[in-house]
Amino acid sequence: MKLALCQVDVAFGDVARNLAIVREQTVAAAAQGAQLVVFPECGLTGYAFADAAAASAAAIAIDGPELRELAQLCRSSGVWLVVGFVERAGPPDRERLFNTAALLGPHGVALHYRKLHLPFLGCDRFMTPGDLPLSVATTPLGRIGLSICYDGSFPESARVLKLAGAQLIVLPTNWPEAATISRQHQSIVRAFENHVHYAACNRVGSEGGFRFPGESSIVDCTGRVVARAGEAATTLFAELDLPAADMNRVINVPGQYELDRIAHRRPEHYGAIVAPRRPAQEPR
């Protein structure tokens, strides 16, 4: 499967302009053989909103005309898309906003994901925490799961997607300059520890006082970086063998040195990971 990460600048609050960017970049990537084209977190709306009202003004609905247009783009260009946006849900008097990513194919939304883990940053300060399960879409390309930016800092998310059958985890991000460790190391670790392909698509440009330095990456299921971008706007391509992610047993020396990070788990000892959070203890 040929994957393309479109490391683009985002027009803040300008959905029409961002849709035009997605159309242009998708057609160009498809011309180079891409089958799955990925855009950054909140790539349709912008991210660094100062308040909930501003975020709401740019938000779009999961069943709105913007995503219907992108589904038509998938049909006409023969590709699948991952796009991120601020999502508006519910009636006006009970509106909720989510940081959302969607996997789109020729028939529309194949996977709808809302960011679970919200940092105190940008529009996430005003978003509702995600309420949809971590799930995987089975597509003609393979089995694909979604996370968004800060979600990648929580290893449980990637492990749940792997156990649900994901061969590829796609992470649209808005990693600013301070997120150096995330940009340089996180994707490698998540791919290696789960034996899953992992693709993180960051953005470039500046917004709301933050600069976004790109460094998108595509890592295969062995933890090998197969493509990494610099700080300029670019489209990053890589060929991935998605079924290879299902072969969890790694044989270094047959019969002597073999590893399986899925079969060798001991979940009966991991209860603390999912136990309810305890209040912080007061210092004595």
- Least Cα distance to 176 among 47, 19, 59 occurs for 47
Residue 79 DSSP code: -
Gap between the Cα atoms of 238 and 219, Å rounded: 9
Report pLDDT digits (tens) over 69-116: 999 999 999 999 999 999 999 988 899 999 999 999 999 999 999 999
Per-residue confidence (pLDDT) for residue 280, from 0 to 100: 64
3-state secondary structure of 38: strand
Gap between the Cα atoms of 239 and 246, Å rounded: 17
The CATH number that domain 2-273 falls under is 3.60.110.10
Per-residue confidence (pLDDT) for residue 281, from 0 to 100: 60
Token digits for 202?
A: 């960051």
Per-residue confidence (pLDDT) for residue 274, from 0 to 100: 86
Q: What are phi and psi of 228, to 5 degrees?
A: -145, 135
Per-residue confidence (pLDDT) for residue 250, from 0 to 100: 93
Low-confidence ranges of the chain (pLDDT < 50): none
Which residues are 171's β-sheet partners?
A: 200
Gap between the Cα atoms of 237 and 257, Å rounded: 33
Per-residue confidence (pLDDT) for residue 48, from 0 to 100: 96
- Least Cα distance to 181 among 209, 165, 200 occurs for 200
Q: Tell me, what amino acid is at 102?
A: A
3-state secondary structure of 230: coil
Token digits for 62?
A: 């999961």
- Least Cα distance to 64 among 83, 89, 43, 95 occurs for 89
Gap between the Cα atoms of 202 and 207, Å rounded: 13
Per-residue confidence (pLDDT) for residue 263, from 0 to 100: 96
Residue by residue, DSSP assigns 166-178 as -SEEEEE----TT
- Least Cα distance to 117 among 81, 160, 82 occurs for 160
3-state secondary structure of 133: coil
Per-residue confidence (pLDDT) for residue 10, from 0 to 100: 98
Per-residue confidence (pLDDT) for residue 72, from 0 to 100: 98
The residue ranges of every structural domain in the chain are 2-273
Angle in degrees, CA 138, 216, 259, rounded to 5: 60
CB atoms within 10 A of CB 216: 28
**67 membership: H or E segment, kind and range:** helix 65-77
Q: How would you classify the pairing of strands 197-201 and 168-172?
A: parallel
pTM of the entire structure? Answer: 0.96
